[in-house]
């Protein structure tokens, strides 16, 4: 028991003599625990030895019998206790002089006395002064001259992960310059990322939060001199940007909104370079694109903003918050060439190339843009779409003043201006005087552009250009009652005979593309055209037209009235560059009383028509009965008609045959007549020749025979030629003469003679008288 008390007493002495404070490191506490355990073990061994000795004394013969005095046991106990105390003291002294620093540790030491005093304002000793030393013990075995120098604590290395940064705050060093928030690193690379504290202090290190920070890695950092705060690296995700606000730097100039760009700071990752090269405090014109950055978050506050995304059917209208002031006459500011500032993604280049503050003329096309929202505000707007069957009339808010067109040096501009003036009718100048200031102008001037846009999609800035779609297809305007698609109510008109009536009308018109700018100039839009021109014009025309005609006549002469109205409407709208396709009267509503009278009249006419129809029906019935009777005798009639037809055909055939025979006979007769004529002419010539010869022969015969002799000869020839018989061929008589025949024989002879004569007459020429 006494030995145990001694052991605990020595342990308490060791604790008091160690001088360790409650702030010591865990290593020192472990060492003390080891001492306590060793003291306890030695005490337990000593106590056990005493107990064993007492037991042995009780069990053995008396001490006197073996010659050992009783006091020897107590002496042995004190020897053991002294040995234990000596071991503990020796271990304590050796542990103070010999210090082993682990491979991932450093040890902080303190010089307790026998040295110079610390300079005023300093906390850590950089050159062997009394106090906590800036230099630390690196890993390994070290001899420490205790008690002049003692090990205060051991600390593990500082490890900065790959996604972390170590922000350093120095507890000692030179004072911070006035107006500065963060300490510049004057020592530069001499302190090896704060791993050489003495070099940091001796080479001008400044007390406070340092601009230099630790990146990923393992560092031997003096934990009492440098406090390390681990922060996450700055990560800018895809589709976003990081806009930066600097907490330190040169003050912005008057009227300046953003800090200008400085070179060499590597996307704000080198804060010292940013400050030394004149970086300005406040929002920065530069920004961070998607990526991971080693940025001192206390110095540079990074705010995530979405990247500007312009959809496929959109444009981006840009408004600059900094730059030269706009002219008072400008609605939008002229934008430097987008290639110079990369579509507003390089704000510094925009300003350096003369960019103006305010709405910009240029727009962003569909895509993704990294634009600083501190400098530019972007508003998405739909594309200008001109559909099929339309043209787009542009009203330009930018360009030269159109009043200078008349004094332009270009002859073509003057000619175009005169052409526009001649195209306007006098009524237009009267109506538009003092009201409209816009003109139809060529490109480059403010006003209504002469050239129109065809169907398609256009990236047009609506602040610079107003696009008015004008349909070029045929449009209809209707004045109809009870129709959901009607534009206006029917016309309420009064006829010539005082009847109120409603007229429903449809007007079809179209605008040629080249006339669209002039329609916009005169009227503004299609809605204005229909409401302020077409409707009142046609209303007036139909009122005047109906007032000249009675109601019934107007309805009865609907086609003529429609043609006249169309002609009048076409003439009126041509002055507004509107081409009328057709004007149609779709319906006429007469008064009910007039309609009743007209209906009664029509009913009477219908009754008359009905009676006439009945009369015609009875007549048709009679004809039907007649036809029916004829149908009953149809068989006989058909046979008769067929017979008549056959007879007619036969008669026609006979007639045609007779005509043919007659023609044949006529032709034959004509041929025979011609032949007879020819023969007669020939025979006459022969006779004439013969007569002349015979006459000559007669003259000679008269001379030879006398006239009577010649006459007698010719008479005899004539009788002979005629075959005249002077004497009979057969003589019959009734007496029996010399011939010895009777009377009957003479008859027989007569018959035979006649038969012979008949036979001879067929083949034998009659006998001629003998000369």
Return the domain boundaries, the chain.
Answer: 2-101, 474-590, 597-628, 689-724, 726-733+741-771
Please tell me what DSSP assigns to residue 533. I
Helix (H) or strand (E) holding 59: helix 26-59
pLDDT score, position 724: 63
Helix (H) or strand (E) holding 293: strand 291-293
Q: In what order do the strands lie in the sheet with 208-214?
A: 208-214, 164-170, 226-232
Residue where the block lists tokens 């003259």: 699
pLDDT score, position 116: 85
Residue where the block lists tokens 């900094």: 322
Residues 6+ away with beta carbon under 8 Å from 637: 630
pLDDT score, position 124: 93
For 629-652, b/e burial (b = at least 16 CB within 10 A) is: eeeeeeeeeeeeeeeeeeeeeeee
Which residues of the chain are modeled with pLDDT < 70?
Answer: 1-74, 406-438, 481-486, 637, 705, 722-771
pLDDT score, position 568: 94
pLDDT score, position 704: 73
Q: In what order do the strands lie in the sheet with 314-320?
A: 358-364, 314-320, 376-382
- The 10 Å Cβ neighbour count of residue 152 is 20
With beta carbons less than 8 A apart as the criterion, state whether 573 and 509 touch.
Answer: yes
Question: Measured between alpha carbons, how far is residue 631 from residues 490, 636, 643, 644, 657 in Å?
Answer: 61, 10, 18, 18, 37
Q: Which long-range contacts (CB under 8 A, 24 or more apart) does 529-534 make?
A: 529/576, 529/578, 530/477, 530/487, 533/573, 533/576, 533/578, 534/477, 534/507, 534/509, 534/573, 534/578
pLDDT score, position 422: 43
pLDDT score, position 54: 53
- The 10 Å Cβ neighbour count of residue 565 is 22
Give one DSSP letter per residue of 194-227, joined into a string: TT-HHHHHHTT-BSEEEEEEE-SEEE---TTTEE
- The 10 Å Cβ neighbour count of residue 754 is 12
- Assign domain 474-590 to a CATH class: alpha beta
With beta carbons less than 8 A apart as the criterion, state whether 153 and 110 touch.
Answer: no
Distance CA 435, CA 445 (A): 20
Distance CA 545, CA 409 (A): 52
Distance CA 628, CA 119 (A): 154
With beta carbons less than 8 A apart as the criterion, state whether 110 and 131 touch.
Answer: yes
SS3 599: helix
Distance CA 357, CA 340 (A): 17
The alpha helices in 104-245, defined as continuous H runs, are 197-202
pLDDT score, position 220: 94
SS3 106: strand
Distance CA 638, CA 128 (A): 159
For 446-467, b/e burial (b = at least 16 CB within 10 A) is: bbbbbebbeeeeeebbebbbbb
Give Rg (Cα) of the chain: 75
pLDDT score, position 712: 73
Residues 6+ away with beta carbon under 8 Å from 490: 479, 480, 481, 502, 503, 504, 505, 587, 589
Residue 547: phi and psi, rounded to 5, are -65, -15
């Amino acid at each position: 028991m006494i030995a145990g008390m001694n052991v605990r007493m020595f342990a308490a002495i060791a604790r008091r003599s160690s001088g360790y404070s409650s702030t010591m490191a865990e290593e020192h506490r472990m060492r003390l625990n080891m001492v306590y355990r060793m003291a306890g073990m030695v005490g337990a061994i000593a106590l056990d030895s005493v107990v064993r000795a007492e037991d042995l004394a009780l069990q053995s013969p008396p001490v006197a019998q073996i010659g050992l005095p009783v006091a020897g046991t107590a002496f042995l106990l004190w020897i053991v206790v002294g040995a234990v105390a000596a071991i503990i003291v020796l271990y304590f002294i050796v542990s103070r002089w010999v210090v082993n620093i682990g491979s991932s540790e450093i040890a902080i030491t303190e010089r307790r006395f026998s040295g110079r005093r610390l300079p005023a304002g300093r906390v850590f000793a950089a050159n062997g002064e009394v106090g906590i030393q800036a230099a630390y013990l690196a890993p390994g075995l070290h001899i420490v001259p205790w008690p002049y120098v003692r090990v205060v604590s051991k600390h593990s290395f500082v490890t900065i992960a790959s996604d972390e940064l170590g922000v350093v705050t120095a507890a000692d060093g030179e004072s911070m310059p006035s107006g500065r928030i963060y300490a510049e690193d004057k020592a530069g690379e001499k302190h090896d990322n704060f791993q050489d504290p003495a070099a940091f202090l001796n080479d001008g290190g400044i007390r406070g939060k340092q601009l230099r920070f630790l990146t990923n890695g393992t560092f031997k950092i003096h934990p009492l001199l440098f406090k390390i705060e681990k922060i996450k690296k700055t990560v800018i995700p895809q589709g976003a940007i990081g806009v930066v606000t600097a907490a330190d730097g040169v003050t912005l100039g008057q009227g300046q909104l953003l800090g200008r760009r400085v070179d060499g700071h590597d996307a704000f990752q080198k804060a010292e370079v940013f400050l030394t090269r004149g970086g300005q405090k406040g929002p920065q014109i530069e920004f961070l694109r998607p990526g991971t950055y080693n940025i001192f978050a206390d110095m540079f506050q990074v705010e995530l903003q979405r990247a500007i995304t312009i959809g496929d059917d959109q444009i981006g209208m840009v408004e600059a918050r900094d730059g030269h002031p706009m002219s008072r006459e400008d609605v939008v500011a002229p934008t430097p060439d987008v290639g110079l500032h990369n579509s507003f993604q390089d704000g510094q280049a925009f300003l350096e190339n003369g960019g103006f503050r305010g709405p910009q003329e240029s727009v962003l096309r569909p895509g993704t843009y990294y634009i600083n929202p501190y400098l530019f505000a972007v508003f998405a707007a739909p594309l200008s779409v001109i559909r099929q069957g339309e043209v787009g009339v542009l009203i330009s808010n930018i360009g030269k003043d159109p009043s200078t067109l008349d004094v332009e040096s270009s002859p073509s501009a003057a000619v175009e201006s005169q052409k526009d003036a001649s195209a306007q009718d006098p009524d237009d100048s009267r109506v538009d005087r003092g009201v409209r200031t816009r003109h139809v102008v060529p490109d480059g001037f403010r006003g209504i552009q002469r050239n129109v846009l065809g169907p398609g999609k256009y990236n047009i800035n609506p602040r610079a250009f107003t696009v008015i779609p004008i349909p070029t297809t045929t449009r209809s305007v209707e004045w109809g009652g009870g129709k959901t698609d009607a534009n206006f109510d029917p016309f309420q008109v009064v006829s010539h005979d005082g009847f109120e009536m409603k007229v429903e009308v449809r007007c079809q018109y179209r605008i040629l593309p080249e006339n669209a700018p002039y329609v916009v100039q005169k009227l503004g839009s299609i809605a204005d055209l229909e409401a302020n021109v077409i409707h009142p014009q046609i209303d007036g025309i139909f009122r005047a037209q109906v007032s000249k005609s009675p109601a019934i006549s107007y309805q009865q002469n609907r086609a003529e009235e429609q043609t006249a109205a169309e002609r009048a409407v076409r003439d009126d709208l041509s002055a507004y560059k509107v081409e009328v396709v057709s004007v149609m009267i779709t319906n006429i509503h007469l008064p009910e009383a007039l309609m009743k009278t007209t209906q009664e009249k029509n009913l009477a006419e219908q009754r008359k028509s009905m009676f006439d129809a009945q009369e015609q029906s009875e007549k048709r019935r009679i004809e039907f009965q007649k036809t029916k009777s004829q149908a009953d005798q149809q068989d006989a009639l058909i046979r008769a008609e067929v017979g008549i037809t056959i007879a007619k055909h036969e008669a026609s055939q006979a007639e045609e045959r007779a005509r043919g025979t007659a023609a044949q006979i006529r032709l034959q007769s004509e041929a025979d007549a011609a032949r007879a004529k020819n023969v007669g002419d020939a025979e006459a010539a022969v006779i004439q020749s013969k007569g002349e010869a015979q006459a000559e022969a007669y003259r000679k015969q008269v001379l030879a025979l006398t006239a009577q002799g010649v006459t007698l000869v010719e008479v005899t020839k004539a009788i002979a030629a005629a075959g005249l018989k002077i004497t009979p061929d057969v003589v019959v008589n009734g007496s029996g003469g010399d011939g010895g025949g009777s009377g009957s024989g003479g008859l027989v002879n007569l018959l035979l003679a006649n038969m012979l004569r008949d036979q001879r007459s067929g083949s034998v020429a009659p006998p001629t008288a003998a000369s």
